[in-house]
Structure 1
């Protein structure tokens, strides 16, 4: 892991298991793509991305509308950051057996430093869209084909695709790993909670902090 970091990452929350990062990126594909604009400020586009794993490394595939200036920023400065946020929830100090504690927030996140390559050829953009369709609504693939070439070409002309080659991944799993005395009560509170809390409960099981993995 290079010494540079894009996120505060204490050792107890750092995951070195690439499978954890891949699972988070696939289960929570709606990401924030962050570049630096011409004025030196961050420019953010929120978008779904498809994780592509290959022998040469990992890439993320996505696209933005042609009027969105982000693709021009990627052309000028290909290096960018992608942030994925997994489940997150409040953690009450009531989970500890003693009272000298404070509240915190648990969350799972992945930061990927990437190098961008624009995809502008229509057939390549169509292939990219089909990967995203397969991720989110496979049944729409036939409808997309049935709309005809003229319609498809007009739609494809309105977007710019890109491949984001991943150079570095930082996976942060903040689940109070260093406070084992809190795990049972923490899991009990999360497992019957809202969708975010249930997601954290499943990850606690997956990481072996309580019970067994689903």
Structure 2
């Protein structure tokens, strides 16, 4: 990921927050099977290793886990808020016309080599934690233990787990930091004037920046 200095984010707590807030990151590898990409929910243990460790699972029928087992370096992409930025948002456009469209966005790229596992108890712990995370906000959260154990055991045989210690992290927060204060305010107001909730979320981040 190309990261100009003005948009670089290196604070590990901020990076981890973005990663934990991304419900479905993209796992990418380039190994003997070529380029592979899978959309997978992941858990982050921020205290395991210098940059944290990611945990997830893939369907056993998905050849992607084999690429991980072969030792291919993995890239995990965590995409955050994003919005199209129109030149009309910039007050400076009225002065000199020297403006073009761009895109503001947040992204974190995590790299590492994974270990795969299919131990049933370890997989059970993983899927239980994943379910708890994504069910937590529901009025009546579903738990893995709600399903018959025999059924869960059969489902566990159909997946392969992996842990991915993060060797390096790249973070990018492109929030018009390279523009004047007036133009930044114009971008914020322009985004708030749309009907897109994601535009509004990005506008709030610009305000905090």
Q: What TM-score results when the alignment is normalised by the length of structure 2?
A: 0.89
Find the aligned partners of 1:24 and 1:94 in 2 and give their Cα distance. Answer: 29
After superposition, residues 1-214 of structure 1 pair within 5 angstroms as 7-39=1-33, 41-57=34-50, 58-98=52-92, 99-138=97-136, 139-141=141-143, 144-180=144-180, 181-193=182-194, 194-207=196-209
Structure 1 residue 192: deviation in Å? 4.2
Find the aligned partners of 1:146 and 1:108 in 2 and give their Cα distance. Answer: 37
Find the aligned partners of 1:160 and 1:34 in 2 and give their Cα distance. Answer: 16
Secondary structure of the structure 2 residue equivalent to 1:21: helix
Find the aligned partners of 1:52 and 1:175 in 2 and give their Cα distance. Answer: 28
Find the aligned partners of 1:190 and 1:27 in 2 and give their Cα distance. Answer: 21
Structure 1 residue 186: deviation in Å? 0.8
**Structure with higher strand content:** 1
* Structure 2, unaligned runs of 5 or more: none
Structure 1 residue 8: deviation in Å? 0.6
The structure-2 alpha-carbon separation of the partners of 1:124 and 1:199, relative to structure 1 and needing over 3 Å to count, comes to same
Find the aligned partners of 2:46 and 2:111 in 1 and give their Cα distance. Answer: 16
Structure 1 residue 146: deviation in Å? 2.8
Find the aligned partners of 1:203 and 1:61 in 2 and give their Cα distance. Answer: 28
Find the aligned partners of 1:136 and 1:13 in 2 and give their Cα distance. Answer: 30
Secondary structure of the structure 1 residue equivalent to 2:176: coil
Find the aligned partners of 1:101 and 1:92 in 2 and give their Cα distance. Answer: 9
Q: Relative to structure 2, which stretch is displaced further, 176-185 or 108-117?
A: 176-185
Deviations 1:71-113 (A, max 9, x none): 1000012421111111111101112223211111111100001
Flag as ranges the 4+ runs of structure 1 deviating above 3 A: none
Aligned partners of 2:26 and 2:77 also within 8 Å:
yes
Secondary structure of the structure 2 residue equivalent to 1:203: helix
* Structure 1, unaligned runs of 5 or more: 1-6, 208-214
Q: What TM-score results when the alignment is normalised by the length of structure 1?
A: 0.87
Secondary structure of the structure 1 residue equivalent to 2:99: coil
Aligned partners of 1:37 and 1:73 also within 8 Å:
yes
Q: CA RMSD in A?
A: 1.5
Find the aligned partners of 2:22 and 2:197 in 1 and give their Cα distance. Answer: 13
Deviations 1:131-174 (A, max 9, x none): 21122113111xx2132221111010010011111110000011
